[in-house]
Amino acid sequence: MGFYGIVPNKTWEVNPEVLTERERIEDIQAAAARIQRTLLMIPGPTAIAPEVLAAGARPVLSHSDPLLRNFVSESLARLRNVFDAPSSQPIIMAGSGTLAMDVGLANLVEPGDRVLILESGVFAGRFKQIAARNSAEIRVETAPLGRGLDLDQVRRAIESFRPKVMTITHVDTSTGVRLEVEPLARMARERDVLVLVDGVCSIGGEEFHGDAWGVDLAFTASQKALGAPPGLAVLTVGPRARAARENRTSEFPGYFTDITMWLPVMEGYESGTPGYFGTPAVTLLTMLHTALEELAAEPMPIRVLRHAWIASAFKAGIAALGLESVAAPESIANTLTVVRNPEGVGDELVDAVHVEGVSIARAIHPELRGRSFRVGHMGVCGPAEILTTLGAIERGLYRVGHRVDFGASLSAAQQILANPPGQVRSDAAERVMRT
């Protein structure tokens, strides 16, 4: 008799006499999931590389230690590259993406200023609240669920409303919709509107060219596609955004959120004369430095292609299970997928997938709650994570009583994973593919 009544060398056979209530198969599976550690596949925080984890284990450094100064100045230079915004000054602050939203928008608007908010999911709602708290006049242009915004609709809104600032949520994490920043930003720029981009769920994973696209201020957070733990907000402030802040006529009501306090500190790090405003999160900065070092080892165009490749494998897997993504194909993001549940299946699916060892997220959009789930595939994510996740989703669906053609999603994903973009396939590989 084997361990816990399982007969060794047989395929999953259990002696019912030895199996007690406490040792049900579910318990054993749950224990296995715990041992393996749950695979983190939510759309942030995301799993981080062991090197980044190890960087957090170093003794706390003084914020004026030359090593830390070096870490910060290198990180700032790398962030300028990730945002592809050579004309901007990056700022790293202790806080989450919401702090970056607050800092980004509040510094650009004065009471009575007009803010045009492009809405493709719930995260635009935060811009609305921040704009309202700064006594701005607000107009919202909303995309249909799962779709991008019509360019003519936005042009008309800009021309009739004449905003000072337009906000774009590059990838909305509640719908999995990616907006096309380039044409939207160009349209705003041509009409002298400041362009503010929420890149929390995109930058580091999706194509982004801050300067070339005419973005004035963009931001992300450490826990998404940058591959670091949560706790840092990252912004790039372009010359027009800086001028808007400096030319304010009313007093800026924030203190910690005032970019004029932070810009000289960050510039100081880069010029070798760092100043102090608030104690920096030194351990997180050390981890971010390692994450950005890893990131820099992968040229940005390759990183973007990797995300697209991994995303398409995941989406093919989902489609093979007969499931649909909320985002339409032309608007779908590469950093996460929001998937509609099969008819009659609710949030118990997310719990079942968790028991199978993979942490995925419930829906947060009011129209999708209880009817869909979200999977992040950004940062440190490759074929192993995609296949493990699809396998767990298949078992989760089975657990909640849905009929599953086991292996269907894995097979579909494998076809794509075996053929990375741009790979020149050998004749042998071609033959394998045909058989």
Residue numbers 197-256 binding ligand PMP by CB under 6 A: 198, 200-201, 221
* Identity at 270, one-letter amino acid code: E
Range in contact with ligand PMP (rule: CB under 6 A) among 11-19, 82-90, 97-105, 249-257: 97-105
Name which of residues 27 to 46 contact ligand PMP (CB under 6 A).
44
Quick one: which segment of 14-22, 196-204, 258-266, 352-360 binds ligand PMP (CB under 6 A)? 196-204
Q: Which residue in the set 75, 173, 325, 335 belongs to the binding site for ligand PMP (CB under 6 A)?
A: 173
Which CA distances in Å does 413 have to 47, 148, 208, 316?
A: 21, 26, 26, 6
Nearest-approach distance from CB 172 to ligand PMP, in angstroms? 6
Minimum distance of ligand PMP from residue 248's CB (angstroms) = 25
- Closer to ligand PMP at the Cβ: 287 or 321? 287
Pair type for strands 232-237 and 89-94: antiparallel
Near ligand PMP by CB under 6 A, which window of 91-99, 155-163, 279-287, 295-303?
Answer: 91-99
Amino acid letter, residue 252: F
Residue 98 as a binder of ligand PMP (CB under 6 A): the answer is: yes
DSSP conformation letters of 123-163: HHHHHHHHHHHTT-EEEEEEPPTT----HHHHHHHHHHH--
Give the x-and-dash track for 117-136 against ligand PMP (CB under 6 A): ------x-------------
- Cβ closer to ligand PMP: 369 or 431? 369
Radius of gyration of the CA atoms of the chain, in A = 24
Biggest alpha carbon–alpha carbon distance for the chain: 81
For residue 257, state whether it binds ligand PMP (rule: CB under 6 A).
no
The residue at minimum Cβ distance from ligand PMP is: 97
Q: Residue 14's beta-bridge partner residues?
A: 6
Instruction: Give all strands (DSSP E) within 287-396, no chain letters.
Output: 336-340, 358-359, 361-362, 372-376
Of 172 and 207, the one with the shorter C-beta distance to ligand PMP is 172
DSSP state of 121: S
| Cα 8 from Cα 17, distance rounded (Å) | 16
Q: Is 169 in the site for ligand PMP (CB under 6 A)?
A: yes
Closer Cβ to ligand PMP, 46 or 89, answer by number: 46
CA distances (Å), 94 to each of 55, 85, 221, 283, in order? 17, 21, 10, 11
Residues that bind ligand PMP (CB under 6 A): 44, 96-98, 101, 123, 169, 172-173, 198, 200-201, 221
